[in-house]
Amino acid sequence: MAVRIFRKYIYSCTGAVTEALAETLRGRKKVTSAIIITAMNRVLFLLFFFLSINSFSQKKVENVIQKNSLLNKHDKEFLIKDSLDSKYIEILEKVNSQISLASNPFSYFITVIGLLFAILTIIATGIIYFQSQDFKKQRKKVFDEVNQKFENEIKLMNKSFNEKQRDFEDLNSNFLNTFKVNFEKVLSPSQQNDLTKLFNSYEEVIKNINGFNKNSVKVRVSKEEIVSIPGGRRVEKRLCRCCKKNYYMEYLDVEKGQFDIIKSVCPNCFNYEEVEKQYGHRL
């Protein structure tokens, strides 16, 4: 339909032009202005129409060329990517086929490494175990030797101490016997009796000190008997139960209300006593 209208328009344009030319050729001096204007309008329209068609066709061709070039780049990239993917897939298939084989070198390599690691682990475990056993045996041996050495030294010390104690007792008895014999020649009978009493009292004091029951005697001490002396020391006045003489005993300063067992020996008769003491306030 559009083509028919376009053809009719062209035919009318050409008809107007031919009519104007025919009028001029016939010798008519005056050509109607309407015919000339219509002919010029139609000619200008045809020129503009053809120019627009030409420019449109050129742009269309350029767009087609650009599209073809873009399609070519895309096709090239697609082909390159397709070829790379196909090669990668081929490599993976080869690797999978090699790994899936029973006689695969990778499996042999991994198996050998695993066996070596297991063997080395077993050897290291055995070495550590035997070394620990040897260390325990050596440590026990050293401890036994040290204990045996200490026991031997203690036995020797006890033996030497017992021997020295026996020698001292023999020497003491010999000294006393010789002392008595020598003084019997010099002293009178009354002096000998006094000396005998003195020796007997000395032996009795030694027996009292050695065989004294520490819990048998407990004497209460009052706060009035506690005195203070220069130098920060504190002493108390004591009365000996044996010789009935007074002596002074030093002790430590403690808090109020505390109890303690005080051991004392009389310097006159060597009588040993224990006192359960409750301390008072600080002086």
DSSP character string of the chain: -HHHHHHHHHHHHHHHHHHHHHHHHTT-S---HHHHHHHHHHHHHHHHHHHHHHHHHHHHHHHHHHHHHHHHHHHHHHHHHHHHHHHHHHHHHHHHHHHHSTT-HHHHHHHHHHHHHHHHHHHHHHHHHHHHHHHHHHHHHHHHHHHHHHHHHHHHHHHHHHHHHHHHHHHHHHHHHHHHHHHHHHS-HHHHHHHHHHHHHHHHHHHHHHS--TTT------GGGEEE-TTS-EEEEEE-TTT--EEEEEE----TT-EEEEEEE-TTT--EEEEEEE--S--
Does some domain include residue 56?
Answer: yes
Q: What is the pLDDT of residue 215?
A: 46
Does some domain include residue 155?
Answer: no
The pair phi, psi for residue 248, each rounded to 5°, is -110, 140
Does some domain include residue 14?
Answer: yes
Does some domain include residue 119?
Answer: no
Q: What is the pLDDT of residue 164?
A: 84
Q: What is the mean pLDDT of the chain?
A: 66
Domain termination residue (choose one: 92, 118, 134)? 92
Does some domain include residue 230?
Answer: yes
Q: What is the pLDDT of residue 240?
A: 82
Is residue 217 pLDDT above 50, yes or no? Answer: no
Q: Which two tokens stand for residue 188?
A: 């009178």
Domain termination residue (choose one: 70, 92, 114)? 92
Sign, Cα dihedral of 152, 158, 164, 170: negative
Rounded distance between C-alpha atoms, residue 210 and residue 226, angstroms? 29
Q: What is the pLDDT of residue 100?
A: 61
Domain termination residue (choose one: 61, 92, 123)? 92
Is residue 30 pLDDT above 50, yes or no? Answer: no
Is residue 108 pLDDT above 60, yes or no? Answer: yes
pLDDT tier for residue 161 given thresholds of 50, 70 and 90: confident
Q: What is the pLDDT of residue 231?
A: 47
Q: What is the pLDDT of residue 37?
A: 56
Domain boundaries, position 9: 2-92
Q: With 0.75 as the threshold, say if the pTM is over it.
A: no
Does some domain include residue 174?
Answer: no
Is residue 271 pLDDT above 70, yes or no? Answer: yes
Q: What is the mean pLDDT of residues 198-227?
A: 57
Is residue 175 pLDDT above 80, yes or no? Answer: no
Q: What is the mean pLDDT of residues 73-93?
A: 68
Q: How many domains does the structure of the chain reveal?
A: 2
What percent of the chain has a predicted confidence (pLDDT) above 90? Answer: 0
Q: What is the pLDDT of residue 228?
A: 45
Does some domain include residue 147?
Answer: no
Does some domain include residue 45?
Answer: yes
pLDDT tier for residue 61 given thresholds of 50, 70 and 90: very low
